[in-house]
């Protein structure tokens, strides 16, 4: 469907967090619940001002657990909802992210990462939540997670996150970082007719014929709004197609594979990797978020030295693009993986490369970004 023009078209100079907030509005978000936490607070502050202007709702909750629950409730009430946080709050959200997966509740969770563990570096950059986004809640499930590298991408990926949440009826995570959230650059907002916005798939069935977890051909049930006369039972327990708890191995075998397969089975539609100068390269830099930006200069310097190096920029980090990594692992000497943690996504690169090329971790504990010369040195050594 075409989007309502709630975001003014044109070029603006703004931070990534502000661009994220405007992207949410453009995508149809009309509910935000959250708790202030650096370095994501500007998202909440911006939406606290903007949502009431367009008939939306902003609520500051008592904590991050309550924030996710409020978003889930608003979603079942028919709204598109979002929350935003950083590392400590993201940890608190994990139980209810699992609830969103189990209840197949579409919503968006933004994590503007900072240095950790614990309180860590509240105002400084980190990328230490990458594996937590995938494995942080308990049980077997699949997650969709995006990683912007600029305010413009933060705007665009927020819209994409809402579309994917509605398409797959699942929570979608945006793994931003402090630098992308706080940097200010030109952001272009297009005319509404140029935006493709996914609407919620409400059922056309009568209340007598509808069941909230009766999957159709693509494994994704249609939804209804609470209060429209449909009987709805939503629980985090293993349940049957009616939503009622059904505590048997048989019910688990019917439910969990469907929740996993609706994402895993369409992973090729979800994977998004920008392949830059890869053809003929001897070394590839595999990076995401602000570290992809840092890598640009190192790659340019390597080119000036005659080194054949390209870049794999991960725009979607989960599902992980193992097929693309595997393809290039056969063709290059090495893959360099810089990230602002002590080595997380490099483990996925190693797994996918399966020994076909060297995989070199370039870790950084956080607080600031990599110095490009550190990445350049790893490139030079790998090209020898």
Query: What DSSP letter does each residue of 21-81 carry, written as one string?
Result: HHHHHHTTEEEEEE---TTTHHHHHHHHHHHHHTT-EEEE-SSHHHHHHHHHHHHHTT-EE
The answer for 270, left when phi > 0, alpha when psi is -120 to 50, beta otherwise, is alpha
Where does residue 200 rank: exposed (0-12), middle (13-18), buried (19+ CB within 10 A)? middle
Fold of 10-194: Rossmann fold (3.40.50)
Q: Please report where in the chains the tokens 């931070």 appear, as a residue.
A: 15
% of the chain at pLDDT higher than 90: 97
pLDDT tens digits for 10-65? 999 999 999 999 999 999 999 999 999 999 999 999 999 999 999 999 999 999 99
Question: Residues 76, 226: contact at Cβ < 8 Å?
Answer: yes
- Please give the Cα distance from 87 to 93 (Å, whole number): 10
Quick one: pLDDT at residue 268? 96
What integer is the mean pLDDT of 163-191? 98
Each residue's pLDDT tens digit, 233-261: 999 999 999 999 999 999 999 999 999 99
Q: How much is the pTM? A: 0.97
d(CA 141, CA 306): 45
Q: Which two tokens stand for residue 376?
A: 């350049």
pLDDT, tens digit (0-9, with 9 covering 90-100), for 112-150: 999 999 999 999 999 999 999 999 999 999 999 999 999
Q: Where are the alpha helices (DSSP H) in the chain?
A: 16-26, 41-53, 64-76, 87-102, 130-135, 151-168, 178-182, 249-264, 267-270, 289-304, 322-329, 345-353, 372-383
Give the contacts of 178 (CB within 8 A, at least 6 positions apart): 39, 86, 112, 113, 114, 123, 124, 125, 126
Which residue do the tokens 């919620």 mark? Answer: 200
With CA atoms as reference, report the closest residue to 30 among 9, 5, 8, 50.
50
Query: Using N-to-C axis directions, what is the helix angle for 151-168 and 16-26, rounded to 10°?
Result: 40
**Phi–psi pair at 32, nearest 5 degrees:** -135, 130
- Could you tell me what percent of the chain has a pLDDT over 70? 99
8 Å CB contact between 112 and 176:
yes
CATH of domain 273-383: 3.40.50.920
pLDDT(1) > 70? no
CA distance 374 to 297: 11
Residue 299 near residue 274 (C-beta atoms within 8 A): no
Report pLDDT for 91.
Answer: 98
As a whole number of angstroms, the distance between CA 10 and CA 25 comes to 15
Using 50, 70 and 90 to split pLDDT, how confident is the model at 218?
Answer: confident
pLDDT band at residue 217, thresholds of 50, 70 and 90?
Answer: confident
Backbone angles phi and psi of 128, in degrees to 5: -90, 5
Report the candidate in 121, 135, 181, 130 with the shortest Cα–Cα distance to residue 287: 130
Q: pLDDT tens, 279-328?
A: 999 999 999 999 999 999 999 999 999 999 999 999 999 999 999 999 99
At 267, list the tokens: 């992973």
Q: Give per-residue pLDDT as tens, 53-95.
A: 999 999 999 999 999 999 999 999 999 999 999 999 999 999 9
The three-state secondary structure class of 280 is: coil
Q: In whole angstroms, how far apart are CA 258 and each of 97, 140, 167, 218, 239?
A: 18, 11, 15, 10, 12
Q: For residue 3, name the pLDDT band (cuts at 50, 70, 90).
A: low
pLDDT per position as a tens digit, 314-346: 999 999 999 999 999 999 999 999 999 999 999
Same fold, 10-194 and 273-383: yes
Please name the helix (run of DSSP H) or strand (run of DSSP E) that holds residue 310, with its range, or none. Answer: strand 309-314
Asked, as a colleague might, if the bond just before 15 is cis with ω within 30 of 0, I would say no
Integer Cα distance of 356 and 329 in angstroms: 5
What is the overall mean pLDDT for the chain? 97
Give me the residue spans of the domains in the chain.
10-194, 273-383
């Amino acid at each position: 469907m075409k989007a309502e023009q709630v975001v003014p078209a044109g070029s603006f100079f703004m931070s990534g967090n502000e661009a994220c907030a405007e992207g949410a509005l453009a995508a149809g978000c009309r509910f935000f619940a959250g708790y202030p936490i650096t370095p994501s607070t500007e998202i909440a502050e911006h939406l606290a001002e903007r949502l009431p202007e367009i008939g939306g709702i902003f609520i500051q909750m008592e904590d991050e657990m309550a924030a996710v629950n409020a978003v889930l409730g608003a979603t079942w009430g028919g709204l598109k909802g979002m929350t935003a946080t950083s590392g400590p709050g993201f940890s608190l959200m994990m139980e209810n992210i699992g609830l969103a997966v189990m209840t197949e509740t579409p919503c968006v969770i933004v994590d503007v990462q900072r240095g950790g563990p614990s309180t860590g570096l509240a105002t400084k950059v980190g990328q230490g939540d990458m594996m937590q986004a995938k494995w942080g809640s308990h049980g077997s499930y699949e997650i969709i997670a995006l990683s912007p590298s600029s305010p413009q991408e933060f705007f665009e990926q927020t819209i994409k996150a809402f579309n994917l949440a509605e398409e797959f009826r699942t929570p979608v995570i945006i793994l931003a970082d402090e630098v992308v959230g706080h940097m200010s650059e030109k952001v272009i907002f297009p005319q509404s007719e140029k935006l493709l916005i996914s609407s919620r798939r409400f059922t056309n069935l009568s209340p007598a014929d509808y069941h909230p977890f009766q999957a159709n051909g693509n494994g994704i049930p249609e939804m209804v709004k609470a209060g429209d006369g449909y009987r709805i039972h939503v629980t985090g327990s293993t349940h049957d197609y009616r939503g009622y708890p059904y505590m048997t191995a048989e019910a688990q075998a019917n439910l969990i594979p469907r929740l996993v397969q609706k994402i895993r089975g369409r992973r090729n539609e979800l994977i998004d990797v920008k392949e830059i100068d890869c053809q003929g390269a001897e070394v590839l830099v595999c990076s995401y978020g602000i570290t992809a930006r840092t890598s640009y200069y190192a790659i340019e310097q390597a080119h000036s030295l005659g080194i054949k190096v390209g870049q794999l920029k991960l725009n979607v980090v989960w599902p992980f693009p193992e097929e693309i990594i595997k393809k290039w692992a056969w063709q290059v000497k090495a893959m360099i993986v810089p990230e602002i943690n002590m080595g997380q996504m490099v483990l996925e690169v190693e797994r996918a490369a399966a020994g076909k090329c060297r995989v070199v971790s370039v870790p950084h504990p956080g607080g600031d970004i990599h110095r490009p010369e550190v990445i350049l040195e790893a490139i030079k050594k790998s090209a020898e």
